[in-house]
Amino acid sequence: MPRLTLREAISEALREEMQRDPNVFIMGEEVGEWGGTYAVTKGFLEEFGERRVRDTPISEMVIAGAATGAAMAGLRPVAEFMTINFAFVAFDAIVNHAAKVSHMFNGEIKAPVVFRAPGGGGKQLGATHSHTPDVIFAHFPGLKVVSPATPYDAKGLMKAAIRDDAPVMFIEPVPLYTSPRVRDDVPDGDYIVPIGVSDIKREGRDVTIVTYGEGLHTALDAANQLAKEGIEAEIIDLRSLQPLDLSKALASFKKTFKCVVVEFGHGTYGIGAEVAAQLQEKGFDYLDAPIKRVAQAQAPAPYAGALEKSALPNAEKVIAAVKEIL
């Protein structure tokens, strides 16, 4: 099996879906001639032509809205935001239109659109270009929100997203795109990773770490170091934030009685808040210690490298959180 980076895996999924289904097409800023700002769609224009690989003006509202309209009329658009930060400009089209039409029109209209959104910080891009706002999109019923942490999952989830009849926000952690350490065995050809199913990425008996996206690799680093001290962490990768599958996290928590949530977005009102709330509601009798959250500091992302780094989760912070409750 070829070993692919996250970026290569997403690219492969897009290419195979476009080969499989003539209704799948790509639109967004710099997706064609440029080949994608992060080169995910490099070579697509040559392979599929201008009809199916469509460069747009810098117009996020109509990118999201027109993709939604085309989906309503039966196509399978993959609309790319250059980065998730620009999706804020299109917020109304995403949450008030794509996410609403199915329910608001009583099932008479569906909008099977995929919004691709590279996200994440740590690249010294300043406050407005460094968001991990995933949880905002997961707040709204009607939208599915997916964020893969491994190339295997990324390919299978992208295929699932394109074939899903619901609108899907597909959030790609940029810091993982080309990272050699997240290189993965990715099968050639077709397979699906279902949306809304979490995954145990590491087994352990002492503490449950719930995370997704970039957080998975921070959690794995922490777990490897903790293992040297005889502490075995079980790591649950949520993979989807909406629908949110906490069945594996709850089962793990009932075994370890302790939980740390790791997320790269801000902690306040974050994923960790939701996970902690649900675990205590459904597993109060198993609670041995406070559920801890490791998240981005509640400050806008600064430009200066060390300063920005200090605001983000890392293995040391995860280890400290684990030790606090053991």
Catalytic residues: 60, 129
User: Residue 259: phi, psi to the nearest 5?
Assistant: -150, 140
Stretch that binds other proteins, among 73-81, 173-181, 227-235, 251-259 (CB under 8 A): 73-81
Closest C-alpha among 311, 218, 222 to residue 267? 311
153 and 128 Cβ atoms separated by less than 8 Å: no
Cis peptide leading into 243, omega within 30 of 0?
Answer: yes
Stretch that binds other proteins, among 36-44, 223-231, 238-246, 313-321 (CB under 8 A): 238-246
- Residues 7 to 26: which contact other proteins by CB under 8 A? 25
What's the rounded Cα separation, in Å, for the pair 217 and 283?
27
Q: Which is nearer to other proteins, 51 or 228 (CB)?
A: 51
Stretch that binds other proteins, among 51-59, 169-177, 256-264, 290-298 (CB under 8 A): 51-59
180 binds other proteins (CB under 8 A): no
What's the rounded Cα separation, in Å, for the pair 310 and 226?
21
Q: Which is nearer to other proteins, 153 or 245 (CB)?
A: 245
317 binds other proteins (CB under 8 A): no
Q: What is the CA 89 to chain-centroid distance, rounded? A: 19
Describe the strand order of the beta sheet including 168-173 as a list of residue ranges.
53-55, 24-28, 76-80, 114-119, 168-173, 144-146, 240-242
Give the contact letters, 104-143, x = binds to other proteins (CB under 8 A), - = no.
Answer: xxxxxxx-x----------------------------xx-
Taking CA atoms, 163 is separated from 18, 192, 236, 324, in Å, by: 11, 10, 25, 43
Q: Which is nearer to other proteins, 62 or 200 (CB)?
A: 62
Interface with other proteins (CB under 8 A), residue total: 45
3-state secondary structure of 172: strand
Structure tokens at 223: 């777990």
Smallest separation (angstroms) from other proteins to the CB of 103 = 5
Q: Figure out which of the listed residues 10, 71, 136, 186 binds other proteins, where binding follows CB under 8 A.
A: 71
34 binds other proteins (CB under 8 A): no
Residues that bind other proteins (CB under 8 A): 25, 51, 54, 56-57, 59, 61-62, 64-75, 77, 92-93, 96-97, 101-110, 112, 141-142, 144, 165-166, 196, 243-245
